[in-house]
Amino acid sequence: QGQLQNIDQKGNGRLGVITNYLSDKFEWAAELVNKLNVVFGIDSFRLVQEGVCNANMSGRDIVCVMPTGGGKSLTYQLPAIKSIGCTIVISPLISLIRDQILHLRESNVEAVMLMSGIAQDEMRSIMRRLDETATGKGGVKLCYVTPERLSKSDNFMFMVQKLAKNGRLARFVIDEAHCISQQGHDFRTDYKKLSMLRQQFPKIPILALSATCSQKVLEDLLQILGLKPITPGRSANLNGTVYFSSPLYRENLNYKVVEKSSVRAEVIRHMVEYILEHHPNASGIIYCLSRRDSEAVAKDIQVRSEGKIRTGVYHSGIPDPVKEKLHEDWRSGAIKVVCATIAFGLGIDKADVRFVMHHSKSVQNYYQESGRAGRDGKDADCILYYRSMDAFRYNELKQESKQSHQQIHEMLRFLQDTNECRNVLFAKHFALSAWSADELARCGHCDNCTRAPGAVEERDITVDAWRVLRISQALKRADENVTAQKLSDCARGVGAEVKKPEMAAVGKVSLSKQDTEALVIHLMLEQYLTVKLHRTAHKTVTYLEPGKADHATAFMNRSQAQVDEARTGARMMYAFLIPEKKVKTKASAGGGPSPASGNTTPPPRRKKSNAK
Ligand code: ADP
Ligand code: MG
């Protein structure tokens, strides 16, 4: 007992820190499985569920990180019905709680929910049932509450005290626990107040759940909740917090980045053709950047598809009854595609979402929102439409922090990477100490794993890069502030500025518009160009200027002759994406593999290991 070890769980993939909580030797094991089958209608545990349930039954503090759709709810619901008293679940969204309650009631589990706006008499009835639970007469197993409500209601806190005093408070569960950290992407002020749980109830175990939890967020989370440090692997420390993480890798999700046309109608056409070709009768989500955008996209898709694709709209400005109707129509299949802002998120529990398409602000968002596809374990596509230049637009929307700027850089890196497996990129992004990048296998079915030979072409960009930088220098000298877009245009000889003799002397780049934009972004990411943020009252504009790093100045200061003849300094190479249409014709004409993509033969698609 208490021996901690790293093991691979029945082919379910590599796990973070594993304990011997994965065992059927526990006294409750048989009954847990029985309830799993009978109450939830589920045959077997998935990912780290079994270990979390056992640690939960053992009264430990736990942090559990499992991908969206992985089945985090079960890790507290199952122990809750086996425990004495009530488990209190803090969950951020009402829609999310509603879904859970609905499912629990269908399974005959007694569950209640508390949120703002609840009617007086209903509140009274809930409090009465909780009181009966506290005195051993009733059996509320799960009580859901929003953090806002928890921090506002003295009555309720008093009841929680009573439950605890009578030994009828089984556990606190904090869902979407990353909301507690300001370093995460969903920070909520009321989550911070959850630090009072450990202060007021030092003996009640806590389970924190999340789908995305970086090292920094994890540290915050432990500190704010007052949890002890994570029990390290192979130690016998039974005091620490038990940490479970399961692979982020969901093998049924096919990630794909599609370069978006700057012409809006083109994007719609692409979406419609794609849906009709691959998922004519399936449900999907299209995430849009604004409310207006989601309305427009919904309309355009329906029109463009001549009514073949029935769409609905969801965003925070839609009245509640309309939202509920939409949920209903979507569930029943009357609406196939929901065009939405990210408000349509947490709490959607539709298993057969076959595709998620969107524009995204961060790698984290893309990962998280894509996670809503394929919860039934069957194949689903997660398509990200992007134009690098758009990344800066998000920055312009409002005053943003340095951190969000860093997110934009990460996103651009992700977008521009035409080689590394998307799943490996995700794993690196969310890396926790238990993972090392070299251990990660390529998924074999994302866009980068399945690129056709010739889809990527590595070219010498030394001269063009030098031109871009020289032009940037000239603009700087002339006190011209330029955005990435403007700089690309100037580099191609477009715009009034290029008439200046100094710039004319440099010459134009010999690349297409799209490739020039890619090059400018590349130079920025490699710090040959540097970002200058210009804040006004309403927005932040991102300008680019020559980088100050040594490698940047050394490169810029090469003479024209040096660059042309490549006598000094290394050449600069860049892997350009070849437009899909051209790749096809090339391939059929017998074009061989390019040097950039020839080094990776995609492995065969992985066998399902945890499917059921
Ligand atoms: P999460 O909170 O991790 O995003 P949920 O708890 O909402 O995921 O579960 C997602 C779906 O997976 C639910 O429909 C749930 O019934 C289902 N599920 C959970 N555990 C299992 C399992 N062991 N086997 C099959 N389905 C499961
Ligand atoms: Mg959940």
Residue 4: what pLDDT?
Answer: 27
The environment of the single-atom ion ligand 2, i.e. residues with CB closer than 5 A, is 72
Contact 402 CB / ligand 1 (< 6 Å): no
Q: What is the pTM of this model?
A: 0.63
Q: Distance from the CA of 275 to the center of ligand 1, in angstroms?
A: 26
Give yes or no for a contact between 367 and 429, defined as CB atoms under 8 angstroms apart. Answer: yes
Angle (CA) 573-579-585 rounded to 5° is 110
213/211 Cα distance (integer angstroms): 7
Nearest protein CA to atom 26 of ligand 1, as residue: 42
Within 8 A by CB and 6+ apart from 127, the residues are 155, 156, 159
Q: Distance from the CA of 65 to the center of ligand 2, in angstroms?
A: 11
* Closest ligand, as measured to the CA of 74: 1
Judged by phi (left if over 0) then psi (alpha if -120 to 50, else beta), residue 15 lies in beta
Residue 584: what pLDDT?
Answer: 57
Residue 115: what pLDDT?
Answer: 83
DSSP assignments along 266-297, one per residue: HHHHHHHHHHHHH-TT-EEEEE-SSHHHHHHH
Sequence-ordered strand ranges (E) for 183-294 = 206-210, 242-245, 253-259, 283-287
Residue 586: what pLDDT?
Answer: 46
Q: Distance from the CA of 593 to the center of ligand 2, in angstroms?
A: 43
Residue 521: what pLDDT?
Answer: 94
Contact 46 CB / ligand 1 (< 6 Å): yes
Q: Distance from the CA of 48 to the center of ligand 1, in angstroms?
A: 12
Name the residue among 212, 218, 463 with its Cα closest to residue 345: 212
192/75 Cα distance (integer angstroms): 23
pLDDT along the chain (612 residues), means of 10: 28 39 79 93 84 91 84 95 96 86 91 88 94 92 93 90 96 95 81 95 96 83 93 62 77 90 90 96 92 95 96 93 90 93 76 89 81 89 89 59 72 91 79 48 88 89 93 91 92 80 81 92 95 80 92 87 68 84 52 34 35 32
Out of 209, 375, 378, give the residue to mutate to test ligand 1, the one with the largest number of ligand atoms within 8 Å of its CB. 375
Q: At what angle do helices 49-57 and 29-38 cross, to 10 degrees?
A: 120
Residue 285: what pLDDT?
Answer: 95
In this structure, the chain runs to a length of: 612
Residue 591: what pLDDT?
Answer: 37
Nearest protein CA to atom 12 of ligand 1, as residue: 71
Residue 533: what pLDDT?
Answer: 83
Could you identify the atom of ligand 1 that is nearest to the CA of residue 72? 3
Q: Distance from the CA of 517 to the center of ligand 1, in angstroms?
A: 42
Q: SS3 string of 437-458?
A: HHHCCCCCCCCCCCCCCCCEEE
Which amino acid is present at 515? D
Give yes or no for a contact between 237 and 6, defined as CB atoms under 8 angstroms apart. Answer: no
Contact 73 CB / ligand 1 (< 6 Å): yes
Nearest protein CA to atom 10 of ligand 1, as residue: 69
Contact 74 CB / ligand 1 (< 6 Å): yes
Angle (CA) 118-123-128 rounded to 5° is 165
Residue 247: what pLDDT?
Answer: 61
Which amino acid is present at 72? K
Contact 374 CB / ligand 1 (< 6 Å): no
Could you identify the atom of ligand 1 that is nearest to the CA of residue 211? 3
Within 8 A by CB and 6+ apart from 590, the residues are none
Give yes or no for a contact between 562 and 422, defined as CB atoms under 8 angstroms apart. Answer: no
Supply the DSSP symbol for 239: S
